[in-house]
Structure 1
Amino acid sequence: KFKAEGINHLIVDFRYNGGGFVSSAINLASLIAPGVSTNDIFLKRKFNSFLSRFDEFKNVNAKFLSKSQNLGNTLSGNRVYVLTSSRTASASELIINGLKPYMDVFIIGDVTTGKNVGSVPIEDEDNPQNSYGLLPIVFQSFNSQDKSDYSNGFTPNITAKETAERLRQFGDVNEQLLRTAITQITGTPPSGRFEKLDRMDLGSTLDRKVRSGTMVENFEIK
């Protein structure tokens, strides 16, 4: 739909995205990066010095997907706008880092978490009674330019921290971070006024998810 409408600006909201599957990150990034194909590197996985001695742990790269719906070439200034918070982590940071060699990633929000490593799930498939598993960190993530320098998080181009008393529905043009992005794009803020509300942030159920802040890889190396 975005491509059919010929959009020229895209805002991606990662402020509550604490991570997920690498495959999902590749899929989304492949819709955004301009002109990429299966020949272009999205991610380089680098393992520790011991594992790197073995051929199967050398040059372990993930390529972009070829997507007919890709809209990167329609974006003005070869730029994508990303909304972030301190909860933005892992696979969402992977997208930011993976897109940087191909386009201008303009970040609006707060400094991200800073998780540039990935895990693989290890579960006891032979014993259904065992509900426990392991999720060890096994690699560090780099983009096609061998950059992985965000262990302290990505610093936004424009700092804008959402506050509880100014929370709005997603898509409301006067919601704090979206308003900042629209103002940056158009040069003119939306016409509505900020209305301070009597609200308090009690926390997020997202923070209690088992794999919150975890980048999970589902590949097998044999």
Structure 2
Amino acid sequence: MKKQFLIFITIFSITLFAGCFEDLDDNPVSTKELNDFVWKGLNKYYLYKDNLPDLANDRFTNSEYDNYLNSFSSPEDLFESLMYQRQTIDRFSWITDNYIELQQQLNGTTYNNGMEFGLVRFSSTSSEVFGYVRYILPNTDAEIKGLQRGMIFHAVNGTSLTIDNYRNLLNPNNYTINLAIYNDNGTSDTEDDFVEPTNESISLTKAPYTENPIFISEILQVANQNVGYLMYNGFTRDFDSQLNDTFNYFQSQNIQNLVLDLRYNSGGSVNTAILLSSMITGQFTGQVFNTNQWNTDIQAQLNPNDLINNFISNDEGTPLNSLSLGKVYILTTKSTASASELVINCLNPYINVVQIGDNTTGKYQASITLYDSPDFSYNDVNPTHTYAMQPLVLKTLNAVGNTDFINGLTPTFMVKENYGDLGVLGNPDETLLAIALQHIEDTGRISLQPLSSLEIIGDSKDFTLTKNRMYIDRN
């Protein structure tokens, strides 16, 4: 694989970091030094540098630069001041004061109680929020406590969820959810739906957990055809070999159609996105998968060939199990983001992508981790602090130049999940999967339910550092 892709960093032991922690105590870093790291890193790599006068190479004299750095009371303040159109264009760059936690999450390890959930409000003018359980991770506290997909909760620790408090209530490692029942009022119109609190509550505790993103892989029989179904919840590099094994299974079952469920997949490794796309196809090896576009300075330093990523036939020498499909069904929601969107966007010029569900998030940019070191890599990192940045550094274009889909990718068939009856994931009767199977069986004739007016405003991945991330290696 090309070296610019992310090589996930091994989780480091506490012993390895002992020296760093001693330095943190003995030699505290100044705010000005941290601000210097932030400005120089963004000046070098930030995708939208050209749009920000304060990041211009000739913006400051030495004295002006010192005064500029000293005018910000924290590196976070400086970082935010240099973000381009924060509410619309760059919603995804971020800074952390704990890169150890970041490194763990890039490998798929988070503090998790096993309840993967979505958060919904009934309208854009309502402040009230309720949660619904999307799926339960195996061998977790949520599984032990008996939580199941489709359960509804309206409050945490007895406090009703609102648009303003849900982050604080659901962020701690220990909390109690207060359950409710979804009531559709006997109509298909969601305008009159509501949730009814019950007296039930469940206490949950988070613990370190590494999620296998291959949540479901199975074969369904539809119209005398073998249909592969894969629910894939994260582009995590450490599970690429298992992903390849899954496609070997699909290959051995001679599937004629594939339903790829990315509805809860918020992204991850660009490398893995190319692998997955190459496994779905296989007939386009060597052709353009996507093109990368950096800021003007970086773009000028790169060979044009280095801007292009191609479909591939192997992963560092291991042959890929490819299906050579001419059509794929992809299930999406508003939580489908970044590397998931990359797969959809970059397959579109080559095969028939039947997208079923809701508009995706709208993240077409990728980021890298910048450390405080001479070349911003982890080599020779400054031992006096654990700050790191994850700024957007490039945007992706498919083979025909499509990018900048800020409002997400629009589905072929707009369908939303029914919060009162989510169904069982992988079951042919589950709402989104049923539409795909009906399309396969009836050669395109499907029936759609009225659209829900409810709005997803967040999910359980909001409480991780790697939400909606698409990563490449700094090289």
If the length of structure 1 is used for normalisation, what is the TM-score?
0.83
Q: Distance in 1 between matches of 2:269 and 2:385?
A: 23
Q: Aligned partners of 1:219 and 1:55: how far apart in 2?
A: 13
For residue 207 of structure 1, give the secondary structure of its aligned residue in structure 2: helix
Superposed counterparts of 1:165-180, under 5 Å: 165-180=420-435
CA contact (8 A) 2:290 2:346 kept: yes
Structure 1 residues 86 and 203: alpha-carbon distance in aligned structure 2, compared to 1, 3 A threshold: closer
Q: Which residue of 2 aligns with 1:141?
A: 396
Q: Please, what is the CA RMSD of the aligned residues?
A: 2.2
Name the structure where strand makes up a greater proportion of residues. 2
SS at match of 2:334: coil
Q: Using the alignment, how far apart are the partners of 1:97 and 1:58 within structure 2?
A: 20
Aligned pairs for 1:1-222 within 5 A? 1-37=249-285, 39-56=286-303, 59-66=306-313, 67-72=319-324, 75=325, 78-124=326-372, 125=378, 126-127=381-382, 130-187=385-442, 204-220=459-475
User: AA paired with 1:90?
Assistant: S
* SS, match of residue 437 in structure 2: helix
**Aligned-partner SS, 1:97:** helix
C-alpha contact (below 8 Å) 1:41/1:64 kept by paired residues: yes
- Partners of 1:62 and 1:219 lie apart in 2 by 15
Figure out how many residues of one structure are paired with residues of the other and give that number: 203
Amino acid at match of 1:158: F
Quick check: 99-108 or 46-55, which moved more?
46-55
The 8 Å contact of residues 79 and 105 in structure 1, kept in 2 or not, is answered as yes
Contact 1:26/1:65, CA 8 A, preserved across alignment: yes
Bigger RCO of structures 1 and 2 (CA < 8 A, at least 6 apart): 1
Cα deviation, 1:94-125, whole Å, max 9, x if unaligned, reads 00111112101110000011111110111353
Q: Residue 250 of structure 2: SS of its match in structure 1?
A: coil
Cα distance, 1:45–1:162 mapped onto 2, change above 3 Å? same
1:56 to partner: Cα distance: 4.2
What are structure 1's unaligned runs of at least 5 residues? 189-200
For the 8 Å contact 1:80–1:105, the answer to whether it is kept is yes
**Identity over aligned pairs, percent:** 35
User: How many Å separate the matches in 2 of 1:17 and 1:138?
Assistant: 21
8 Å contact kept, 1:33–1:102: no
Find the aligned partners of 1:12 and 1:34 in 2 and give their Cα distance. Answer: 16
Task: Give the letter for the 2:346 counterpart.
Answer: G
Deviation by residue 1:11-50 (Cα, 9 ceiling, x = unmatched): 001110111010110111110124021x212121011233
What is the TM-score when the length of structure 2 is the normalising length?
A: 0.40
Q: Which runs of 5+ in 2 are unaligned?
A: 1-248, 314-318, 373-377, 444-455
Cα distance, 1:52 vs. partner? 2.3
Using the TM superposition, give the Cα deviation of residue 59 of structure 1 relative to its aligned residue in structure 2, in angstroms.
5.0
For residue 173 of structure 1, what is the amino acid of its counterpart? P
Q: Secondary structure at the match of 1:3?
A: helix
Instruction: Provide the rounded CA distance (Å) in 1 between the counterparts of 2:352 and 2:264.
Output: 22
- 1:130/1:155 CA distance change after superposition, 3 Å: same
Q: Which amino acid aligns with 1:87?
A: S
